[in-house]
Structure 1
Amino acid sequence: MENAAGDFTKKLNEWGKAKTPFFFLVDYQFQKPQAWKLDEVIPDGILFSLNGFSNCNAGLRDELPEHIRFEKHPPAFEEYQPKFDCVLGHLNAGNSFLVNLSVPTPIETNLTLKQIFLHSDAPYRLLFGDQFVCFSPEIFVRIRGNRIASFPMKGTIDASVPDAEQVILSDFKEAAEHATIVDLIRNDISMVAEKVWVERYRYIDRIQTFDKTLLQVSSEIAGTLPTTFNGQYGDLLKKLLPAGSITGAPKPRTLEIIQDAEQYNRGYYTGVMGYFDGQNFESAVMIRFIEQQDNGLVFKSGGGITALSNAKSEYQEVIDKVYLPFSYVPHAVL
């Protein structure tokens, strides 16, 4: 596994220095990173559309069934509670300030992974053959010239809640959680940048699903890369991953807590996907993630836990994040 990570890092450093365009993805534990030059043949079944940068026809659409079925079967609250309690115990002991706890939710649908990819209304999408599909709203890092920026999302609410924007922005727990992530990302960016600042703090993104609209709170943290950077994208990813928004703080100890609490393999979920076009580098966190497993489809989702968190509220957030990002679907059956 170390060789895979080392080879990947070396390749991206060489391609970045030579300004060779590439596409890449990295799993959560950096054990199976993959990358392809864009002048190579990317394996059949791998389709991506990353904020307009794509290897598929934008107008391509598989016809949808007349009636769409999407059923979620989340674990019972009694199954979620021990995981939450494990995290809370570590938080109360001072081992972490924030832990992102995720769980797998079995789902049933009459859609294929390819249909979900093609019809998803999300800025960052990836179809990885018959293994998984991802439709992420969250940028990881974006590099334009010598400016690097990260856009962590932390805080979600159903837009139908009365005064939803004011409710989420004034929630003390959500504000504390968001501040912790911004501080973590600022520290992470400072490992690769000479100057770091918060460009925007706690602004609202609207996420459309086919049965509701969600509001998510984001911030923008920016920095200036040193003149010695010279396209070392492999080294940059190695320093910054895994993403702070899907782990917590402090990161090393929190990674151990996540493994202790979750007791399942995230795989490529919460990893990172992205591209370099020869000038610009852009990447996204692989959240909103459906995976084909032996027993059927699983939707992996999670949320940030702090010492102020309420178990039932966090459980509900995990369920709310299990959705298809279709802006309009007639005859949907939930």
Structure 2
Amino acid sequence: MLTHHFTTTHSPSTLTALIATHRPDWQVCFLNNNHRPVIGICPKTAWHIEFDSTFTAHRYDRHTGQSFAYATTYSDWQKELIAYGKNLDCPSQKDEYTHGLMGFIGYDISAHELNPTIGIKKNQPCAYLGHYDVYLKKSDAGFELFGIDVGELFFNEIKNDLADLLKETLTQPQLAQFNPTWQKQDYTQAFNQTQEYIKAGDTYQINLTQKWQADLANLSSHLPNLQHHMNAPFAGYLQLTNFELLSVSPELFFEFYGENGDIHLVTKPIKGTRPRHANPTIDDDLKNELKNSEKDISENLMIVDLLRNDLGKYAKVSTVKTPKRFAIESFKNVHHMVSTITAQLNNNHSLTVLFGSLPAGSITGTPKKRACEIIHELEIAPRGAYCGTMGYMNFDGTGIWNVLIRTAQKSDKTELWAGGGVTIKSNLDSEYQECTDKVGAILAVFESASI
């Protein structure tokens, strides 16, 4: 392993934005990793998955600088990734990225796997994973650059380029004006249809979402400001050719960790939301209202049961536990109700569990397949990456993955979505307001456009 220390006062999000601005060819990937940030650059191998009636993998090789395309499927790509990493070394370091894959798997590709009639967003990747053998981690007074089994000449080139890049200043972010693609009457129609499906017994809960849209030159210059204001534990950013993904997600999908030779798993689904308030007394009242809400508790319980069922397919007998139910966790702009589920995996690979459990139950509803079908029918367009997952998987099967909520994606236009779980007890105005509460603080940052 090669290493080099850089002294700088830049935050991880600022350094990521500088790389994205000045070295877009590096395919930078930033993961906040529950406040243990890592920045991947210059992947050795990378897979872009695109869809145009069938799935095509574009596999890039850094050594040749070339990529080649071939037909694939959701399950075949998963098998290829497992085979690729099977014999690659992974230094041991708990709860950290050390050597593996970083990137995202979008909502559309996994929902399409449940039902092939579910649409996939065109003109952008529906998934991407890169083997990042060069990466940066925050250290005292700066960053540490790591190179795993890379040539010294290549490592020194990256080191020198980074030294030059740290002298650059970040471009002022562009003022953004997001417009909703649904008006209140559009949401009302979809909400009412959801209620009809619930009454008919098709579903118990649907995570109904809506989209805001803007014209932006880039997302990277907004990353430092957004992360500063939101302080999201599972934030992430990825830059590819003609595509950016910027997430300030508070939600953990899966954490895979090793213990006594086995892989264990933690998932923390979020269901139940109240806005924060500047007045501490009112803020406490909102928090207690959520804590005692029968509707939110039942909504959370449905998703807990769904995830326990998902994990039961991959866990050792009697190891799926729910050590914490309905805990209230407070974030910058909202209070959330969060439960915790744990399991010990059987002989399945961690990637098999990840692929097989997508999309996350907290952003679909129950039962999952029927919920995805109803979402496809009612929402205005495919979700793309939104409500998928972003994170890393080390080659030893450890890793951390978020749920891609509070997430902007940019291809031609920039899209930002928000939603919430609709049940038989839901109130139209409250659910509509919940969408606004979730997205409001993010919109305010984009619209202020100051570092």
TM class by shorter chain equals 0.7 to 0.9
Opposite residue 18 of structure 1, the aligned amino acid is: N
In structure 1, which of residues 101, 106, 121 is the aligned counterpart of residue 213 of structure 2? 106
Which residue in 1 is equivalent to 2:27? none
2:251 is aligned with 1:138: yes
3-state secondary structure, aligned to 1:268: coil
Corresponding residue for residue 235 of structure 1: 352
| Alpha-carbon offset, residue 288 of structure 1 | 0.9
AA aligned to 1:122 is A
Q: Which runs of 5+ in 2 are unaligned?
A: 1-53, 56-71, 90-99, 113-125, 147-161
Structure 2: distance between partners of 1:157 and 1:249: 22
Taking the aligned partners of 1:94 and 1:19, their CA distance within structure 2 comes to 48
Counterpart Cα distance in 2 of 1:206 and 1:53 = 32
Q: What's the CA shift for 1:4?
A: 4.0
Q: Residue 219 of structure 1 corresponds to which residue in structure 2?
A: 339
Superposed counterparts of 1:301-316, under 5 Å: 301-316=418-433
Query: 1:63–1:238: structure 2 CA closer, same or farther, 3 Å change rule?
Result: closer
Alignment partners' CA distance in 2, 1:174 and 1:258? 20
Partner of 1:10: 79
1:242 is paired with a residue whose SS is: coil
Question: C-alpha distance in 2, partners of 1:125/1:37?
Answer: 17
Q: Could you tell me how far apart the structure 2 residues matched to 1:100 and 1:238 are? A: 20
Judged with a 3 Å threshold, the aligned counterparts in structure 2 of structure 1 residues 9 and 259 are, in CA distance, closer, same or farther, namely same
Q: Distance in 2 between matches of 1:175 and 1:107?
A: 35
2:404 is aligned to 286
- CA displacement at 1:225 relative to structure 2: 0.9
Distance 2:193 2:443 in 1: 35
Alpha-carbon distance in 1 for matches of 2:80, 2:286: 45
Q: Which secondary structure does the structure 2 equivalent of 1:258 belong to?
A: helix
Q: In the comparison of the two structures, how many residue pairs are matched? A: 315
How many Å separate the matches in 2 of 1:154 and 1:107? 28
Aligned residue type for 1:25: F
User: Counterparts of 1:306 and 1:76 in 2: how far apart (Å)?
Assistant: 21
- Any conservation in 1 of the 2:209–2:420 contact (CA below 8 Å)? yes
2:203 paired residue number = 96
- Find the residue that maps to 1:321 and give its secondary structure: helix
Kindly indicate whether residue 127 of structure 2 is the aligned counterpart of residue 33 of structure 1. Answer: yes
The letter of the residue matching 1:89 is E
Percent of aligned pairs with the same amino acid: 28
The 5 A counterparts of 1:290-301 are 290-292=408-410, 294=412, 296-301=413-418
Structure 1 pair 328–285 and aligned structure 2 pair: CA distance change class (3 A): closer
Residue of structure 2 equivalent to 1:127? 238
Hey, what's the Cα distance between the residues in 1 that align with 2:403 and 2:144? 16
Does the C-alpha gap of structure 1 residues 23 and 318 become closer, same or farther in structure 2, counting only changes over 3 Å? same
Aligned to 2:15: none
C-alpha spacing 1:106/1:327, structure 2 compared with 1 (3 Å) = closer
Cα deviation, residue 274, structure 1: 1.6
Counterpart residue identity of residue 5, structure 1: Y
1:323 deviates by 4.1
TM-superposed deviation, 1:14: 2.0
- Residue type of the alignment partner of 2:331: I
- Paired with 1:77 and 1:325, the residues of 2 have a C-alpha distance of 20
In our comparison, the structure showing a higher alpha carbon Rg is 2
Correspondence for 2:331 = 207
User: 2-side partners of 1:224 and 1:216: how far apart?
Assistant: 26
1:20-67 CA-partner distances (Å, limit 9, x unpaired): 511131111227332221227x9xxxx999xx9999x9x97964749x
1:118 deviation in Å?
Answer: 3.0
Specify which of 266, 274, 279 is matched with residue 391 of structure 2: 274
Residue 425 of structure 2 corresponds to residue 319 of structure 1 = no
Contact 1:117–1:125, Cα closer than 8 Å, also in 2:
no
Q: Decide whether the 8 Å contact of 1:191 with 1:239 is kept in 2.
A: no
Stretches of structure 1 that go unaligned for 5 or more consecutive residues are: none
Q: If the length of structure 1 is used for normalisation, what is the TM-score?
A: 0.82
TM-score with structure 2 setting the length: 0.62
Name the SS of the counterpart of 2:320 in structure 1. strand
Per-residue deviation at 1:95? 0.6
Amino acid in the other structure paired with 2:188: Q
Contact conserved, 1:48 with 1:125, CA < 8 A, in 2? no
Match of 2:315 among 193, 196, 209: 193
Deviations 1:288-334 (A, max 9, x none): 1113354x4321111110011111111111122114569999x779x
Specify whether residues 276 and 149 from structure 1 end up closer, same or farther in structure 2 by C-alpha distance, changes over 3 A only.
same
Counterpart mapping for 1:51-90 below 5 A: 63=170, 65=172, 69=175, 71-74=177-180, 75-90=182-197
Amino acid at match of 2:224: L
Instruction: Say yes or no: does 1:178 pair with 2:178.
Output: no
Partner SS state of residue 410, structure 2: strand
